[in-house]
A and B are shown apart, each in its own frame.
Chain A
């Protein structure tokens, strides 16, 4: 199985900050990597697919990039709505696997 390792587990930041979350795959997943945002008590919401493609309706302050087996999610200027938990997911091969999550909270 492909292991997805996210870092950090928790990130404290302020409104307006630029933040980056990293996800590393244990083997190649090509570009088959998605990022999701989940607010408490809600279903996850797709932000980025195919490593760097922005899902329709997602604000442009969210972006994704890839270098080999390392993937990053960047939020360019944090807004109050962005304080949530973020997950990466590989869908290159079954079993599809998620990272353990990064909780973004207010500093």
Chain B
């Protein structure tokens, strides 16, 4: 059974940092691109960042570029999001989601975690 489990969310002050993790099981992690998607309270979905299978290619939404860093550990089957210089508008539920890979090359997000809430407030 495919499982993605996020952790690391919490309350942080503006300007602070937080590191999210996503532990993956049930598929060959190294074979898939991975993504972070967020959802502010009562709002829609916003794609945040993506990383390729080997970690060599990373992509970011303009809203987080220069502040967030996506990474992965293919030995620990884990995805990470280092969030720095946090702003009130970064408050959201953060989901990790599986992208394309082998044997499912489509880049749609076919598996999602349950999400972890990040609240940025003074």
Contacts and interface: CB of A to CB of B under 8 A. Distances in A.
A97 B107 CA distance: 13
B110 A49 contact: yes
Interface string A76-99: 000000000001010100111111
A34 B47 CA distance: 13
A91 B98 CA distance: 13
Contacts of A38: 45
Contacts of A98: 44-47
Contacts of A87: 44-45
B110 A55 contact: yes
A12 to B, nearest CB: 19
Interface residues of A, number: 23
A5 interface: no
Interface string B32-48: 00010100000011110
Contacts of A95: 47, 59-62
Contacts of B114: 43
Contacts of B108: 34, 46, 49-50, 89, 91
Interface of B: 35, 37, 44-47, 50, 59-62, 95, 99, 106-110, 112-115
Given A44-B45, A46-B108, A46-B110, 5 more contacts: A38-B45, A44-B95, A49-B106, A50-B106, A101-B44
Interface of A: 1, 32, 34, 36, 38, 43-46, 49-50, 55, 87, 89, 91, 94-101
